[in-house]
């Protein structure tokens, strides 16, 4: 259940306050340049530190412990590990008795019979996305010339993101946002009808990112207010380019040569400094919880690079299924 | 790529104007009552015939050709076949030269090198959902006491569905809509963090339904305009019931004991009687296409039962992963 | 559990005395010629009728009900169905109470809680291999120029097969045999270390054939009596050809350019006319069973073409993983 | 390709002379006691050091870097890492030009385009089995009361193992052997007909162990010399016990309640101190190679514990499919 992909497979592991988090990438071609330093720019984009993100800072230094040799992938599984360091586990013990609203505290407790690592969200932590971002760096190399770019287009209903975040910081509450992701230079023919559709694969992966609660392709939900003659994209050229792109670059589950465009909604972080009502499972009484500890005001600020990685991982897999990525890289 | 599921697996096959369409269901418990007649009510809900749906009428009579014995499942794969009859294939030949805007004509042509069966959409046809609906009937039995109900809540931006559809029929254009699906009596603990999240699985499956272009859970995209203290659902009781259900019944990817609620958008059918511009791939010239033949004004009218089936199939799989469905049914 | 393969996937279904048996092949390239008539020669090789095989004769006429169009594969799943006709189900009812030694009667009864279709072996029947043989015909086309050939090299410890079979027929007992399979023109590089090894994949598939109880590659079990300097195959040429072929064409799980050679043992058919002791599960008493009905004296006679098919299916999958089979056939 | 299993999944990674080797186990129940110390006894059985095994000694100390908390599994993926230390990589550089007979040097070179890590066999190394043995320790706990025991029953055609090994050491050549594995207390009903057969799964896994070249169940290849009335095992009791066990505990792919018994052949280690002929790929000329470095005279001595682990991993997966292992361990 912690593995995704058909030919380009990623398997994530780790806990927020355990020894480490990481990822195995199985199925990469041999011969692709991959150094730990290559991973740093995207890892840095994911990091906290800006206004509206948690004061917990980790070095986030990746170690590639298998699958490369002389700075090139070997064709064997690539394992990337991040050691955890800056952990304050005493903050979390009480949430096994008094689950935080909106968190996985309650569901994890019930599902794993009380044995899950509750510290810092354990295996549910957003820290697991470090591995995804790392795999994304490799995937982005593989899918070239496809380029993937995601950006936060709205928070708390506003397009003036900085202002909205600043106000939320002052009000000590968290806020949600919408991220748009675009893949350009996409060839015609990725994906399959039905279960292998590009939408199915991308959505599956996007909902693996904590806090994502919706996804829409092209005009998305607005399509419900359109007629067919408005929504249909008129074909203009033999390479598939259309006049509009209401379909978000996908027809019948298959990429049509236009940009793949989709948006996801990121809910406001569950952790907020506001007092909240919840149940004390031990006493059986309702109580008010005020969460101390460190958290993100607007986690959506950190999600774009994760969404790019998720997209790159899916597209790498789809490109491999179409034999668009060679098994040995220099053949390219 | 035409198979979905971990333990309750469905594999779809067939073409709209070929011999038949159908499904194999692998992984069902033995001993579950399953007659062909059981499938008819949901198959009837999927059928056309109402205002706003295509005049093509098929008998849609299922044949169970493997996996049952004396009216009970045997534990072996269940194969259900629908023979096609009412086909008018001459309507479709030209679309290999002049792809219809919004259809899979162009992507299928390119992906399969001109070898795909283009008649009536071939393997891309919505007719393939006959199999899904059939598998859904079995899945609904398996997941009891979970109940699943989907309904069309909006078409063309209106809640007065009948009026909107009638107007679209008169204007000879197609229209889209939004369907809401709710699963009640869901136990706590279905799903997994990350790739196995309930959202990931349901979204993967929902986007397998032709014309679906977006999905959102709970408050969905509206979460982008909320604060954490608004969005968080306060826990009220030890069985997981919360004061609100902004999360749509899922925290950390795992069902939390509240109703699972999500909405999908169905785009307007690509087929419309309105003239549309497109490219003649043979001459290389832009042309105007007016699609004759039979099509649905508002395909969204027929999708609720398909979405229910898709949901039931996913939940059956998740329940099996949690050992909530026995391998032999009388053990229940 | 009834599906095998990564990219070239086969899913089998059906029961010996039910409506039909069949197979779905998912992942075939588009554009491969495939008629029902193409399947007949290998299906005929599998048929009974010769001395030592069962007098039950079926027409074994395949119907391709999806996935081809104008005699060519479309890229969509290919479904092939065989209707059962010549069934005598009354022969089998008693075996649910008095399990036949060596059969799956007892294990099926226990596993499926009495709900499995016991007639003629139900889903356990060797008739299911009709689908495998059919898929093998397509797979053999795909893997060209690889050629696959299997033959019975020994029955009942004798190389004079005809004589041994004749004697067994006279003695009214069944006998086992050994089949050797050779694949020639195999490229270097198929397979993977560990779980994806050529041996792992071929063995997995070979043991799916009823009655196979052992497999060995190259010198096989005789390797236990050899030294390394005897067993190692000396490399002679840059294309991988070696002086000997003790490795059976596979090093480190990967094909080395020599013939892939392996042998399987087929146990004597469990059905024999000899009286046998077993338990009456209803009375709890030991009893003597004399099986009437029709059965094969030497089922091994019919297995070579099935083993070829199994091998072709595995090699087609491995060739696809190495991008040696194009997604559209005319690209070849 | 480096992952095996349906519900109890293992993913191996690493290189012999790289940073580390290891395994991820996904799908374990929560609440199972698992300390690093628990792994040591089986890891020690795998170690070299006895007569006939390589003088390369590694500490083989496992680090569990995810998936446990307070000495119990959490339900999240368990990652176990072994750091490599005692490496002499200079020994291996020449084999990329002059492939060793019987090794994966040639196949790895061709498959991965020269990019694989050739040091000490890289990802092909028997060192990868450290992970399997570790996962086996957990799997053995899960499948209780099933007990699994493997032992070397023959080397170089002799049952006096010590003498045969001693002589081979003196002759400076390697030798092969046969290992028998027995699982006792196996419930009726594990496995499936066809692709999910117990034989298919065990064989798939067994051939993942380097140097294994054959496997046979029950009487195995000797079945080819038997009649059905000899080979059939007469049923004696309602729990499935039979008079003989020619079937090796499996009928129709499904465990029948008797011991599962199978044998594998382990070829002589390819590395031998004897001079061997091979090709110099650079010069294109035949040459004689005398391998220096450290190697096992009889690698079969170290395989029993690996085969036990492989068997336990498969049986754990099969038991999970039958819901015989709870999702939370204390439920047991």
Please state the domain extents for chain A.
Answer: 3-321
Quick one: pLDDT at residue A224? 97
First to last CA, chain D: 33
C contact residues 44-73, partner B, Cβ 8 Å cutoff? 63-67, 69, 72-73
ipTM field: 0.97
Task: Report residue C19 as tokens.
Answer: 């409506």
Pairing mode, strands A260-266 and A212-217: antiparallel
Any idea of the CA torsion for A105, A108, A112, A115, to the nearest 10 degrees? -40
**D55-108: pLDDT as tens digits:** 777 789 999 999 999 999 999 999 999 999 876 666 677 888 999 999 999 999
Tell me which DSSP letter residue C235 carries: B
The C-alpha of D251 sits at a distance from chain C's nearest C-alpha, in angstroms, of 5
Q: Cβ separation of D200 and C196 shorter than 8 Å? A: no
Q: Please give the C-alpha separations between residue A325 and each of B57, C188, C329, in angstroms, as whole numbers.
A: 44, 20, 19
Tell me which DSSP letter residue B326 carries: -
Residue C21 near chain B (CB below 8 Å): yes
Q: Cβ separation of B7 and D323 shorter than 8 Å? A: no
The C-alpha of A238 sits at a distance from chain D's nearest C-alpha, in angstroms, of 36
Question: Residue D218 phi/psi, 5° resolution?
Answer: 60, -130
- How far from chain centre, in Å, is Cα C48? 15
Any idea of the CA torsion for C243, C247, C252, C256, to the nearest 10 degrees? 50
Q: Cβ separation of A212 and B199 shorter than 8 Å? A: yes
Residues in chain D closer than 8 A to B322 (CB atoms): 327
The C-alpha of B36 sits at a distance from chain C's nearest C-alpha, in angstroms, of 14
Q: Cβ separation of A116 and D73 shorter than 8 Å? A: no
Task: Report residue C318 as tokens.
Answer: 């491995």
| Minimum CA–CA partner of B7 in chain C | C1
Predicted model pTM: 0.97
Q: Which of C323, C324, C329 to mutate to test the interface with A (most CBs of A within 10 A)?
A: C323
Strands (E), C115-223: 147-155, 177-184, 212-217
| Minimum CA–CA partner of D109 in chain C | C189
D278 close to D261: Cβ distance less than 8 angstroms: no
Closest CA to A195 of B123, C131, B119: B123
Instruction: Give Cβ neighbours of residue A167 (< 8 Å, ≥ 6 apart).
Output: none
| Sheet architecture: strand order including B20-26 | B3-4, B9-14, B20-26, B78-83, B62-66
Closest CA to D260 of D231, D240, D230: D240
Rounded to whole angstroms, the Cα distance separating B256 from B266 reads 27
Q: Please give the C-alpha separations between residue A95 and each of A88, A121, A210, B243, in angstroms, as whole numbers.
A: 14, 10, 19, 19
Buried/exposed B285-319: b ≥16 CB within 10 Å, e otherwise? eeeebebeebbbbbbbbbbbbbbbbbbbbbbbbbb
Q: Which of B181, B228, B247, B301 to mutate to test the interface with A (most CBs of A within 10 A)?
A: B228
Rounded to whole angstroms, the Cα distance separating C173 from C164 reads 11
Residues in chain B closer than 8 A to C24 (CB atoms): 2, 11, 13, 24
Q: Cβ separation of A20 and D72 shorter than 8 Å? A: no
| Least CB–CB distance from C65: residue in B19, B69, B74 | B19
Pairs of residues, one from chain B and one from chain C, whose beta carbons lie less than 8 Å apart: 174
| Least CB–CB distance from C66: residue in B15, B27, B116 | B15
Whether B293 has a pLDDT exceeding 80, the answer reads no
Residue D321 near chain B (CB below 8 Å): yes
Upstream peptide bond of A145 is cis (omega within 30 degrees of 0): yes
**B167-224: pLDDT as tens digits:** 999 999 999 999 999 999 999 999 999 999 999 999 999 999 999 999 999 999 999 9
The C-alpha of A18 sits at a distance from chain C's nearest C-alpha, in angstroms, of 30
SS3 readout for A287-304: EEECCCCCCCCCHHHHCH
**D156-214: pLDDT as tens digits:** 999 999 999 999 999 999 999 999 999 999 999 999 999 999 999 999 999 999 999 99
Residue A188 near chain C (CB below 8 Å): no
> In chain D, pLDDT over 90 holds for what percent of residues?
87
| Least CB–CB distance from B327: residue in D7, D76, D322 | D322
H or E stretch covering A150 = strand A147-155
D297 close to D53: Cβ distance less than 8 angstroms: yes
The C-alpha of B84 sits at a distance from chain C's nearest C-alpha, in angstroms, of 11
Residues in chain A closer than 8 A to B270 (CB atoms): 228, 231-232
Statement: B3-321 belongs to CATH 3.30.460.80: no
Mind listing the pLDDT tens digit of every residue in chain A (332 residues)? Answer: 899 999 999 999 999 999 999 999 999 999 999 999 999 999 999 987 778 887 777 789 999 999 999 999 999 999 999 999 876 666 677 888 999 999 999 999 999 999 999 988 899 999 999 999 999 999 999 999 999 999 999 999 999 999 999 999 999 999 999 999 999 999 999 999 999 999 999 999 999 999 999 999 999 999 999 999 999 999 999 999 999 999 999 999 999 999 999 999 999 999 888 999 999 999 999 999 988 777 889 999 999 999 999 999 999 999 999 999 999 997 55
Q: Cβ separation of D77 and A31 shorter than 8 Å? A: no
Residue D326 near chain B (CB below 8 Å): yes
- Please name the residue that has the structure tokens 């009026």: B163
Residue A123 near chain D (CB below 8 Å): yes
Q: Cβ separation of A102 and B228 shorter than 8 Å? A: yes
């Amino acid at each position: 259940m912690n593995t995704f992909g058909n030919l380009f497979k990623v398997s994530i592991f780790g806990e927020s306050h355990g020894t480490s988090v990481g990822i195995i990438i199985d199925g990469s071609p041999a011969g692709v340049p991959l150094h730990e330093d290559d991973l740093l720019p995207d890892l840095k984009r994911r990091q906290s530190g800006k206004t509206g993100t948690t004061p917990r800072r980790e070095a986030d230094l990746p170690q590639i412990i298998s699958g490369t040799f002389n700075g090139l992938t070997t064709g064997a599984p690539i394992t990337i590990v991040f050691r955890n360091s800056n952990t304050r586990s005493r903050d979390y013990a009480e949430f096994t008795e008094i689950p935080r609203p909106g968190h996985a505290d309650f569901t994890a407790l019930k599902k794993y019979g009380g044995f899950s690592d509750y510290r810092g969200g354990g295996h549910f932590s957003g820290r697991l996305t470090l591995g995804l971002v790392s795999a994304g760096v490799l995937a982005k190399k593989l899918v070239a010339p496809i380029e993937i770019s995601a950006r936060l287009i709205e928070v708390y209903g506003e397009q003036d993101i900085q202002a909205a975040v600043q106000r939320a910081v002052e009000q000590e509450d968290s806020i949600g946002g919408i991220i748009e992701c675009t893949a350009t230079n996409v060839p015609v023919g990725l994906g399959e009808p039905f279960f292998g559709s590009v939408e199915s694969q991308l959505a599956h992966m996007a909902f693996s990112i904590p806090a994502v609660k919706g996804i829409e392709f092209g005009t998305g939900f607005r399509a419900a207010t359109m007629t067919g003659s408005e929504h249909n994209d008129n074909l203009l050229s033999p390479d598939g380019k259309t006049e509009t792109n209401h379909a978000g670059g996908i027809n019948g589950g298959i990429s049509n040569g236009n940009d793949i465009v989709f948006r996801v909604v990121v809910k406001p972080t569950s952790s907020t400094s506001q007092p909240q009502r919840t149940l004390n499972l031990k006493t059986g009484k309702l109580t008010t919880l005020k969460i101390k500890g460190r958290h993100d005001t607007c986690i959506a600020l950190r999600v774009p690079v994760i969404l790019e990685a998720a997209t790159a991982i899916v597209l790498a897999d789809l490109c491999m299924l179409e034999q668009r990525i060679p098994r040995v890289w220099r053949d390219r």
